[in-house]
Structures are given as structure tokens and as C-alpha cells.
Amino acid sequence: MDLLSRIDDWGRSLAERAVYRVADDTLSWGSLIQQSDALAGAIARAGITPGSPIVVRGHKEREMIVGFLGCAKAGHAYVPIDNAAPEARVARTIAAAKAELVLTPETIPEMVSRGHASPPRTGDASSPHYVMFTSGSTGEPKGVVITRGCLDAFLGWTLEEQKFEAGKEVFLNQVIYSFDVSVMDTWSALATGGTVVSLTANDTADFGRLFTRLRGSGITTWVSTPALAQLCLADRQFASAMLPQLRRFMFCGDVLTPDVASRLLDRFPAAEVWNTYGPTEATVATTSVRVDRAMLERYAQVPIGLAMPGTSVLIEDAHGNRAPDDTRGEIVIRGPNVSPGYLGRPDLTARVFSERDQVRGYRTGDWGSVRDGLLFFHGRMDNQVKIAGHRIELGDVEVHLCTLPSVRAAAVIATERNGHPDALHAFVVAADRGASTDLELRAKLIADLATLLPAYMLPRNFHFLDRFPLTANGKTDRRALAATLTT
């Protein structure tokens, strides 16, 4: 049975069950199916080019889910845009997508009210399901095309690995819908007859409000970036009593530190902790691993795991050859979850995508290595600076900082002088610093880090914070951190 038919079946059998809860608003399964059918019918009669992308712009309103599913039923890829995006970027994204229709929480109900019947289903595994726009190196957004086949491959793996309980799971949605980690929670819920509990930007901006939302939510599967869990762990209330039905944490989109993983295992002894990795170009995630005490004791860094069945994740050197174990190289992904490329940009597609024996491949631009058969992530290849003649990977410094027991989280930023990188600044969330002064803590970190890195890679300055600011995607906001160095 195809995904959309399976979702329709859940709508019929679970008509009264909530499929989506946000703030004080709830959408039932029955309403989702009825409204998405009507929206698909209205789209089919809107006179737009068959199969052309449709922008769905909003935040976490329940109409967003109706919009995504309605587009899919009408045979159009949806392009999610969050309301927080600057207007100039929104305009560039709409233009790059060549979208002839923009749906919003205000226009969707009006189209649904027209009451048209859903059109016949069209397309196949090669048909685009969604287009996720990411930032390009030139500052212009580029759209990653994810086909139905890509999504099927991802969901087939995740559902088999996690053994979600059909019709009973409650998934946490933290990130905005223009960040593809949201696919992990929302489409997993839709495929299994589950419920999505979505957090708005206002919810995550205030601890009191956030914890109120979490209590009584019935969440069984927590999906987020590691940064949200790190923030929550700052309060002792964040423990199993708050989320008694929680069975698993699933992290993606950023680095999971040993400290965060360890404290989650302490606070939620009945829940599993899973770390995953994957770029947008490979449909959310491609590797995964369950993190346990033995793993944390064996490795200073949390691994990103093993490749999903049917794919290969290789570490290649600068010549495209497989790198030896314990040697850093570029992470290269091959498999059915790999995107066919960037929307309308064959030039960009040709640079990083390839096909071999009818299997698509993608060069991620991420550093990685293999040890004991497990994959490890070492940061972005383009996150490199040159100081005093030495090439330094900022991600490399961050990874080693995060292996120190006294560090809960770290971000490293280079400042410039006269247009050239001049110094490294480390922002640190310390673990149980006690009565240590900033100066004493800095001295300890320098001494510990000096046993792991050469002197030229040691940060000149350390800045200690209680928590890091987050972007709308739930990642550490490095721009906000960098701005503090110039004020």
C-alpha cells in the first residue's frame, strides 16, 4: 500500500483521534483526511502547471499539515516556508521554486470550503514529494528535491528500526517545517496513525511555557535537535516524571554530545537515546545508533552510527578512494534516499551528485571517519580558517572540546582583523563548574585541550554561558554568538 493510501486508511479507522496538537488547537484524523481531500480538489482546479511546486507558508498552524498532505494528494511537491523567514528570502525562494500558488493558514480553509472532490492520484516513486530550501554558499537558497521514493526509503527504514506502535505513538515536533528534521516526526506519525505534538517558537522561548506543554502531552517519541534537550536538562524538572510515557529520544540536525546523552540516560532510565545523521540531500537521516552507557564509556565522542539498509555511507579521501579506518575523509552517501538534485540547478547538482549503477550518490562536504565499524562526524569541510599559516577546522576544535568532562556544549568562532582570521573564540556551557572562576575554568580547559590538540588550535578566548541561543531550526545560533564579540 502506498503512503497516501495508508494515511487515508488511518483517517478512516482513527477519525476521532488527534493527529496534530499545537498550543490549544487540535486537528483530528478525520478532519485531516476530509480537508486534505478538499484542498487537493481545489488545487487541481486552480489552473496551475501540473506537478509544479506549491509553497506552504506559515508556522505551526494545523493548516500546515493539511497543506502538505493536500499538495501530495494533488500531485504537487510542497515547499515549506516558515513565517520567521525574512521577506526578501521568502521572495527569492518562491521565485527559485517557480511556485504558481502560495498556501497559507488563511487561504487553505477558504480553498477547503469549496468542497471539491480529491483528484485521482498520479505520479510514481520518481515524483517530487517536497522541496526543502537550504542556504547556498552564495547566499541564494537552493531547493533540494525529495521524491516519493526517497521518502518511502527513509520511512521504511525508520519504521522498521524503531518499531513504532501503530495508532498509539505521540511524536514531539520541535523544529520549523522548513527544516527537514520535521519530516522525521510528522511523516512518521502520518504513516503510523500517530499524533504530532508541535511546539511553537513561543513555546520554546520560555521554560515555564515549554514545560507546561510537555506535561500531560503523552509524548512517546521525542524528535528534536540535541540543543533543545540540552536546554531542558538545565532544569531538574526535566525527567521521567514529566514525560512518563516517553520511550525514545531521536536526535538529528546537530551534534549530540556525550554529556547530553549521559544525562538523558540518567533522567529517563526507561527511554532509549538514538543519534542519527544525514544531510537534507539524503532525506533527513541516513545513519543511526542507539546510545548506551557502554558506548559512552568506550568512545569520547558519540558516533553517528550505521548506514540504513540498502545504502552505503563511505569515507573517501581527496582522490575519491576509500579512506582507511580512523582516518578522516569526506562522508559520501549512496542509496535510494539520495535526492535527484537541486530544483532547476543542474550546475549545482553536477558538483555534488552522481549516479553509479543506477544508484544515486551525494558528496556531503562533511568530515567523517570509521572506527570499529561505526561512523563518526567531524564537522563541515568548508568550516576552515587559516591563522598564522595554520589551517584549522573549527568543527575539529568543537568536537574535542565536547569530549572534555567539564564541557556540556561548545561552539568555536573565528574573529577577523584587517579582513583575515585572527583568533579563535570558544563559547562554552560548563558542566558542574562549582566555585571555579572563569579564569580558573579557562586554565583547566586549555590544559585539558592541549593534551588533544596542537597549540595553534587552542582558542585564545573563552566565553562561558548558561545556555546557547538557538536558531529557528533549533541549532546553536552562531551568528548571535559572533555578534556578542563585536558589541
* Nearest-angstrom CA–CA distance, 18 and 170: 10
Give the residue numbers spanning the domain of 123. 3-298
Q: Which three cell numbers stand for residue 109?
A: 480553509
Asked, for residue 285, whether it belongs to a domain, the answer is yes
Task: Give the domain CATH number at 80.
Answer: 3.40.50.12780
Asked, for residue 10, whether it belongs to a domain, the answer is yes
Residues 124 and 240 in one domain: yes
Query: Could you tell me the pTM of the whole model?
Result: 0.87
Residues 36 and 182 in one domain: yes
Q: Pick the last residue of a domain from 278, 298, 318.
A: 298
* Nearest-angstrom CA–CA distance, 340 and 330: 20
Asked, for residue 376, whether it belongs to a domain, the answer is no
Q: Pick the last residue of a domain from 245, 270, 298.
A: 298
pLDDT in tens, the chain (487 residues): 799 999 999 999 999 999 999 998 999 999 999 999 999 999 999 999 999 999 999 999 999 999 999 999 999 999 999 998 889 889 999 999 999 999 999 999 999 998 788 999 999 999 999 999 987 555 578 999 999 999 999 999 999 999 999 999 999 999 999 999 999 999 999 999 999 999 999 999 888 999 999 998 999 999 999 989 998 999 999 999 999 999 999 999 888 999 999 999 999 999 999 999 999 999 999 999 999 999 999 999 999 999 999 999 999 998 999 999 999 999 999 999 999 999 999 999 999 999 999 999 999 999 999 999 999 998 888 877 878 777 788 888 998 899 999 999 999 999 887 677 888 999 999 987 777 888 999 999 999 999 988 788 899 999 999 989 988 888 889 899 999 987 5
Residues 273 and 414 in one domain: no
Residues 401 and 274 in one domain: no
Residues 32 and 156 in one domain: yes
Whole-angstrom CA distances from 6 to 29, 158, 204 are 12, 16, 32
Asked, for residue 333, whether it belongs to a domain, the answer is no
Residues 41 and 179 in one domain: yes
Residue whose cell numbers read 502520518: 190
Residues 271 and 398 in one domain: no
Q: How many domains does the chain have?
A: 2
Residues 122 and 244 in one domain: yes
